[in-house]
């Protein structure tokens, strides 16, 4: 009888042991989960704390775009949690400013936002009431200014009545290509113009800083600017107060100042 009791006890003991291991494993899992939740809660609380409140916005790369314009486009302010700010969204907002071609926004932990912008190149200036419109290389109006000396660019005239807003296209097609070609050629040859006129569709007129008026016709502008450079070297300051006809590039004609051109 005692032997049967002993066997029953061993059976009971044997069935109880696995249940104890499962309980320990469950308790260990619960403890680990609880610790994870507490740590996660502490981390989230820290991330959302004032330690990461935005204090400084550093703006780099802007020349003609004002800091106020950039801040207005960002739509963020000091005191906002830096982790709630999405740099990609801010970059998209900045690129809605016509004068800005690319933008990069980065967090500099714990409290600084760094904004780096690259501005579109201004091709030429167009008179508009008491302002000058800044026209980019794609023909779009980038902005306006009253300070012509900031750009050292000629004025574009003869475009007709100008009623246009920033962000809209002023030049396109053949006229944009022609202006772009002339401006590139002038820069390559170190020449400085004060005005470029499109008033006559058959004859683009260039007025140089020294007063020389150049008729360029309607084509082959790059080659004609090279000829202009060669002729300018042979003219004295007084002789440049005249007209240079380059409509036929093979037969340039200069009038005024008593100078002659070797062809």
pLDDT digits (tens, 9 = 90+) for 2-44: 555 455 555 545 444 555 778 778 888 888 888 888 888 877 7
State mean pLDDT over 205-210.
94
Is the full-model pTM beyond 0.85?
A: no
CB proximity list for 259: less than 8 A, separation 6 or greater = 234, 235, 236, 239, 242
Mind listing the pLDDT tens digit for each residue in 240-254? 678 999 999 999 999
- Could you tell me if 155 and 127 are in contact, meaning their C-beta atoms sit under 8 angstroms apart? yes
φ, ψ at 225 (rounded to 5°): -65, -35
Percent of the chain whose predicted confidence (pLDDT) is above 90: 62
- What is the per-residue pLDDT for 2? 55
What are the structure tokens assigned to 201, written together?
A: 């569709």
Number of neighbours of residue 57 by Cβ within 10 angstroms:
17
CA gap 125, 156 in Å, rounded: 6
Residue 122 has pLDDT above 70, yes or no: yes
Cβ 5 vs Cβ 12: under 8 Å: no
Of the ranges 16-20, 119-123, 128-132, 169-173, which one carries the lowest mean pLDDT score? 16-20
Contact of 121 with 137, CB cutoff 8 Å: yes
What average pLDDT does the structure give for the chain? 87
107 forms bridges with which residues in the sheet?
113
The Cα diameter of the chain in Å comes to 144
DSSP H stretches of helix in the chain? 2-47, 67-74, 87-94, 173-188, 221-234
- Ordered by where they begin, the domains of the chain are 50-119 (3.10.20.310), 122-255 (3.40.50)
Element (H, E) at 133: strand 131-136
Q: Helix or strand or coil: residue 239?
A: helix
CB-based contact 144:167 (threshold 8 Å)? no
- Kindly state the average pLDDT of the residues 138-162: 89
Q: Sorting pLDDT into bands at 50, 70 and 90, what band is 147?
A: confident
- pLDDT for the residue 258: 45
**What's the pLDDT at 163?**
81
Pairing relation of β-strands 203-208 and 193-200?
A: antiparallel
Q: Could you give the CA distance from residue 182 to residue 174 in angstroms, rounded to a whole number?
A: 12
**Which tens digit of pLDDT belongs to each residue from 93-109?**
999 999 999 999 999 99
Query: Is 143 exposed, middle or buried, given 0-12, 13-18 or 19+ CB atoms closer than 10 A?
Result: buried
Helix (H, G, I), strand (E, B) or coil at 23: helix
Residues 6+ apart with CB under 8 A from 156: 124, 125, 126, 135, 179, 195, 196, 197, 198
């Amino acid at each position: 009888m005692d032997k049967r009791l002993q066997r029953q006890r061993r059976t009971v003991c044997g069935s109880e042991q696995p249940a104890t291991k499962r309980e320990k494993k469950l308790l260990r899992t619960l403890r680990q989960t609880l610790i994870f939740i507490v740590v996660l809660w502490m981390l989230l609380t820290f991330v959302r704390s004032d330690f990461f409140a935005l204090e400084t916005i550093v703006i780099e790369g802007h020349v003609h775009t004002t800091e106020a314009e950039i801040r207005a486009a960002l739509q963020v302010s000091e005191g906002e949690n830096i982790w709630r700010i999405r740099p990609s969204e801010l970059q998209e907002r900045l690129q809605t400013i016509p004068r800005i071609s690319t933008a990069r926004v980065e967090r500099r932990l714990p409290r600084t936002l760094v904004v780096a912008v690259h501005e579109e190149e201004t091709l030429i200036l167009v008179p508009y009431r008491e302002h000058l419109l800044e026209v980019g290389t794609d023909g779009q109006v980038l902005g306006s200014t009253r300070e012509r000396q900031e750009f050292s660019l000629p004025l574009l005239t003869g475009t007709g009545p100008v009623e246009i807003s920033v962000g809209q296209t002023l030049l396109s097609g053949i006229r944009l290509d022609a202006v772009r070609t002339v401006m590139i050629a002038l820069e390559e040859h170190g020449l400085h113009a004060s005005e470029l006129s499109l008033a006559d569709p058959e004859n683009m007129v260039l007025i140089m800083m020294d007063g020389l008026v150049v008729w360029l016709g309607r084509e082959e502008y790059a080659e004609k600017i090279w000829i202009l450079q060669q002729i300018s070297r042979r003219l004295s300051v007084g002789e440049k107060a005249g007209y240079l006809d380059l409509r036929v590039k093979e037969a340039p004609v200069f009038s005024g100042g008593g100078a002659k051109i070797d062809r």
